[in-house]
Structure 1
């Protein structure tokens, strides 16, 4: 476990290798699970304030479910989450011509319609964040089957989880946190190389 102020980072975040392989997994994390994407209080407000900009990027089915369930719903286990269509694909998602699930929120962001990329829980995946009164816990939790291709690609490219998710980690915790984590990782890799000699 790596401690940076009140953030506890699992060793796997530094040690494990991972790179999303969207052409194989097809963005399955956007439909595989027990609920939609977890949302913070601030993110709920952002969706409320920017829904008009997001709506054109949604499917008719997604719009229908959002109209029926609301822009977000409450799950007893996960708290506030995005609604889903038939307990599967996120209502904000759609499949492109290659069958890959893309995020309507992110597409609105890419087109300059809003300055919020997507829920941080989506951006960080397969890292999951657990908040307690004292600590924020950062764990690497890929899906065993769905994320197998990402684990394989990460090992092939030799990219640690924390490097693949640099943008989202900086977005969540700031650049100083990421620099501290990177230094810990570099020290870890250097020590590992020294032990081999």
Structure 2
């Protein structure tokens, strides 16, 4: 299983669109895909006409039940939650707040049959807060869309800097090795072909 997070510290760069399109393409190629919507706007969830308020990804952070919905052939989804930002605020003083998704995946691997998926694709909101850090902590790769602008260029360095600080912070204290092993890839997006 490959876990890929789509993240950027700038909104409107195409994270959700790229997550959706990549997942749909993988599914058409015969791969089983699980989407996790970590954006409290829930746009990825709503792409599949799901408007849930119970058993969403927010429960992975609160210890409740989380539903995995099959939305198409080869595509399943853990619905996003409009309450995720308030859940993040409630976790502010928790020592394990940045590893809760890791713990949920570990605890539910067998029960939720997560091994059936070839890819887990995680759509994040435009920040580097608790939910995004949780996504990064479980990922093999981070794809960060960039737009050709000064703000897009600045967002690239902002994400790189925060990711390196996060790598140094989340370590095994015995070995000094980081638990954060995801590779960061930047993807040019919204470029006029002229």
Do they superpose with TM above 0.5?
A: no
Tell me the TM-score range normalised by the shorter chain. 0.3 to 0.5
Q: Whose Rg is larger?
A: 1
> What TM-score, normalized to structure 2?
0.32
> What TM-score, normalized to structure 1?
0.32
